[in-house]
Amino acid sequence: MSSDLYREQLLDHYHNPENFGTLEDPDVDIEMDNPTCGDMIHLTAHLDDEGRISQVMFEGQGCVVSMAASSMFTEKVIGKTPDEVEEMGLAEIQEMMGGIRLSMGRVKCALLSLNAMKAGLREAGRL
C-alpha cells in the first residue's frame, strides 16, 4: 500500500471516526491526555460475560494520528481479552495503521487509546 493511501485512510478515520461517542454504564471509563501534543481522549467500554471487550467508544480531540488511531483501535480491540490488550504495543498499533512508521513525537499520539484502555482495565480491576 502506498503512503498516499495510508494518509488517505488516516484522514478518513480522522474526519469520520468509528465508534465516536460514549457508552451508557460502561465497565471501563477513563480519560487520558497527551500533554506533548494536546490530545485528549475519553474512552468507554463494555465487557461481555467472558470478560472480552464487546463494545468500545471514544470521544476527544487531538491530532490526526491520535484520533485516527483511536478510531481504528476501537474496531480492532473488539473481542479481545484484557490480557490480549495488555500484550499489545506499538508494533500492533503501527500494523493497524497500515504499517506506517511514526516519528518519536507521534508515537505517544498513536498509543493514546491503547494506553487509555490498559489504564481503564486496571482501574476496573480487569488487569
Please give the domain boundaries of the chain with CATH numbers for all domains: 3-123 (3.90.1010.10)
Average pLDDT over the chain, rounded to an integer: 93
| 3-state SS, residue 93 | helix
Give just the sign of the alpha carbon dihedral 13, 116, 52, 124.
Answer: negative
Measured in degrees and rounded to the nearest 5, phi and psi for residue 38 equal 90, 10
For residues 113 and 73, the answer to whether their CB atoms sit within 8 Å is yes
Cell of 10: 488516516
Whether residue 99 is predicted with pLDDT greater than 90 in this model: the reply is no
What pTM, to 2 d.p., does this model score? 0.94
Res 67 pLDDT > 70: yes
What pLDDT does 27 receive?
Answer: 97
Whether 73 has a pLDDT exceeding 80, the answer reads yes
In tens, the pLDDT along 12-64 reads 999 999 999 999 999 999 999 998 889 999 999 999 999 999 999 999 999 99
Band (7; pLDDT cuts 50, 70, 90): confident
Mean pLDDT of 74-86: 97
